[in-house]
Structure 1
């Protein structure tokens, strides 16, 4: 599968998820969906945790979709806890795997079409600049960043604080987008959109900083 085909597949998958969510809400209503989630009990957050975790360790679908789903189905607080915990564990695992086993294992996990992203990120020497590493981890390709920093043999004591800071800043606005649908709060929606706007500015700044090496954001 080519990079272009993979990117098209990702956007199609996002569109299908959005359409499915709209159809379900229109057909059953938000209250009914909430009741279904409540009947699932602990399996609802576990399922979303597993989906988000797997999308980071084995990049396939954009993880943003699962963050929005977590906020929409679980509410802001519980959804944020699930997403943050998933990102913390999955990115830590990705970092450890790449540092422990190197390119051969990473290539099998991310796929050959995405391995060049990991290689180029590892060549950026992000471990030398804490704030630049944090900024990269706040973007949509943070899963590749975790692998790339691990391949660069960055020390754990530098990576982990950057990971925590990036998760604390970047996850709340995305989860709040989904939660605003569930909770119907205009203030929450405004803050969510403002946070997403700030994240887009950070992503644009990161793109300028990493040139001339070009990395596609998923």
Structure 2
């Protein structure tokens, strides 16, 4: 009986890895083709996936945090305008939150060398100097995650480099992240 359960678990894990690999390939292919260069091109790209569009957009939002070269607000605009304020909110919130947690984990796992590859040396040094001068980094991180236009993707990486616990970071994401995304989704759903 135990052998059968292990076999089923292996098939499920292999299927999930294969599915993730396919989705990652599709998303990266779209990025290389320039499909993320404007709101119109991203919207057109997502529409091509039909019912899988929300799933693809969620993965794009995960990746835009992990790879800080993608414009994250494009996904918020596309999600809200295509799927409505609340559905767009959930798509964006889940994707951006998972990406934030992944960025934290990657920085914690691979350290400064990875962060320096993803962020320019100037930005890295500026953030490092800024963080070292702040006594209440947790509160500042909470505000940056909460407020629009703050460099929160970079701060997710930096939070993984310092002694902040994953649990504390998780609670900051859970309680601060939804408000900015909800604001964007409501605004973009009804005013654009």
Which band: TM-score by shorter chain?
A: 0.5 to 0.7
Task: Name 2:38's counterpart in structure 1.
Answer: 17
Q: TM-score, normalised by structure 1?
A: 0.60
The 2-side partners of 1:117 and 1:69 are apart by 32
CA contact (8 A) 1:70 1:83 kept: yes
CA contact (8 A) 1:99 1:153 kept: no
Shift of 1:163: 1.1
The 1-side partners of 2:50 and 2:120 are apart by 34
Q: TM-score, normalised by structure 2?
A: 0.67
Structure 2 residues without counterparts, runs of 5 or longer: 1-33
2:170 is equivalent to residue 160 of structure 1: yes
Matches within 5 A, 1:110-125: 110-112=119-121, 114-120=123-129, 122-123=131-132
Task: Name 1:149's counterpart in structure 2.
Answer: 159
The alignment of Structure 1 onto Structure 2 pairs a total of residues equal to 153
2:99 is equivalent to residue 90 of structure 1: yes
CA contact (8 A) 1:137 1:146 kept: no
Shift of 1:92: 0.6
Structure 1 residues without counterparts, runs of 5 or longer: 1-12, 25-32, 183-218
Residue 61 to residue 154, structure 1, CA distance change in 2 (3 Å): same
Residue 89 to residue 121, structure 1, CA distance change in 2 (3 Å): farther
Task: Name 2:21's counterpart in structure 1.
Answer: none
User: Runs ≥4 in structure 1, deviation > 2 angstroms?
Assistant: 36-39, 109-126, 128-133
Shift of 1:144: 0.7
Task: Name 2:63's counterpart in structure 1.
Answer: 54
Q: Deviation per CA, 1:5-37, whole angstroms, max 9, x where unpaired?
A: xxxxxxxx9xx625x47xx9xxxxxxxx8xx94
